[in-house]
């Protein structure tokens, strides 16, 4: 068991590759938006999912009002 751990040990001299670019850097739509606009977009998306989720629960009789 300890031999497996020694083999799996990371080489301290190894070079690490850079982290992948963030979503804002990869998608040009988000890089144009200001932080406030991105927040409003995220809030609207959350509200949309919430309303659709509640509608599905009502449609399948899983939620009774």
Instruction: Tell me the per-residue pLDDT of 40-56, one tens digit each, with 9 for 90 and over.
Output: 999 999 999 999 999 99
The tokens of 1 are what? 């068991």
Contact between 52 and 60 (Cβ < 8 Å): no
Angle, CA 31 vertex, CA 25 and CA 33 arms, to 5°: 155
What's the pLDDT at 27?
83
Q: Token pair of 31, please?
A: 């890089």
Q: What is the pLDDT of residue 53?
A: 95
* Prediction pTM value: 0.59
Question: What token pair was written down for 20?
Answer: 């992948």
């Amino acid at each position: 068991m300890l031999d497996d751990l020694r083999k799996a040990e990371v080489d301290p001299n190894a070079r690490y590759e850079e982290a992948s670019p963030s979503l804002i850097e990869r998608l040009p739509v988000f890089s144009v938006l200001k932080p406030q606009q991105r927040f409003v977009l995220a809030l609207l998306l959350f509200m949309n999912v919430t309303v659709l989720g509640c509608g599905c629960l009502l449609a399948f009789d899983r939620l009774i009002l």
